[in-house]
Structure 1
């Protein structure tokens, strides 16, 4: 059975790509360069972050992933970031403590494609200029903040004192045997 790919592959336009990573629109409350997606015909607010959260558990079982476009690279980055988030939490972490931990993780200094510490340099092209590097860093920071916020809302949906065992069961899973 093949891994699930992004439904946003059709939206890969060359004007919002840095290296070979698409800067897709997201619904967010955090400041940054990401733009709001245009309203869909059915009125849904589905964006790449919702897709990453929906596909995380299914895709985390796969060791191989065929990249079909630039949106898949953002999907991979998001899945690996969720894995890091889950590894920072434990089954005794309450919601307030989890918010603090994941906010620190989101705002922490992180490697970009082309940096020495970036684990997926073979899959991602580095930014060409310093301006592209700054734009990518601010986009990924905004992306990480929104992703961790929505992840926490799903993990603590039922009880604010205990994370969902259905999410925490994926702490040890390593998508593509990689981690950020």
Structure 2
């Protein structure tokens, strides 16, 4: 992790290549944490134990868990348009953040220290969710047939 990386809670606020508004900027970067999570998704979901070495690992784990949720929802979609609508809805739906009931990994994440950090974390995670959903649609749906591909 780069030393000047900002933190929210004990997660790294990493740059993102995104069109969505939020605290992460990624001007000029070639790949980001979402690309990494999608690329290593199969390998990462088979780990029974994942050693967290730094704050960026927590961000990667969050994106990996979110990809799992997206794929469950995309299984029910028969076209890219339907998939994009589902991903948009999931991306903006109110969701728990670390420290709140319902967050799946509260034992590994610390809650935001104050209201400003809470707002930054919520905005960053929403930005991740929106961008991840859009990129998954690019991977899941065949551009020629508009149908899900394996």
Q: Common fold, TM-score beyond 0.5? A: yes
Question: 1:118 aligned to 70, 92, 103, which one?
Answer: 103
Question: 1:99 aligned to 59, 84, 96, which one?
Answer: 84
Aligned residues of 1:24 and 1:34 also touching (Cα < 8 A): yes
> Structure 2: how far apart are the matches of 1:17 and 1:47?
16
Distance 1:159 1:123, change over 3 A: farther
Aligned length: 150
Question: 1:89 aligned to 62, 74, 84, which one?
Answer: 74
Question: 1:28 aligned to 2, 5, 18, which one?
Answer: 18
After TM superposition, give the deviation of residue 67 of structure 1 in Å.
Answer: 0.5
Q: Which runs of 5+ in 1 are unaligned?
A: 1-9, 40-44, 166-180
Q: Give TM-score, length-normalised by structure 2.
A: 0.93
Distance 1:12 1:57, change over 3 A: farther
Distance 1:32 1:116, change over 3 A: same
> Structure 1: how far apart are the matches of 2:121 and 2:40?
23
What SS is found at the alignment partner of 1:116? Answer: coil
The one-character-per-residue Cα deviations of 1:106-154 (angstroms, maximum 9, x if unpaired) are 0000000000111101000110000100011011101111111111101
Alignment root-mean-square deviation, CA: 1.6
Q: Which runs of 5+ in 2 are unaligned?
A: none
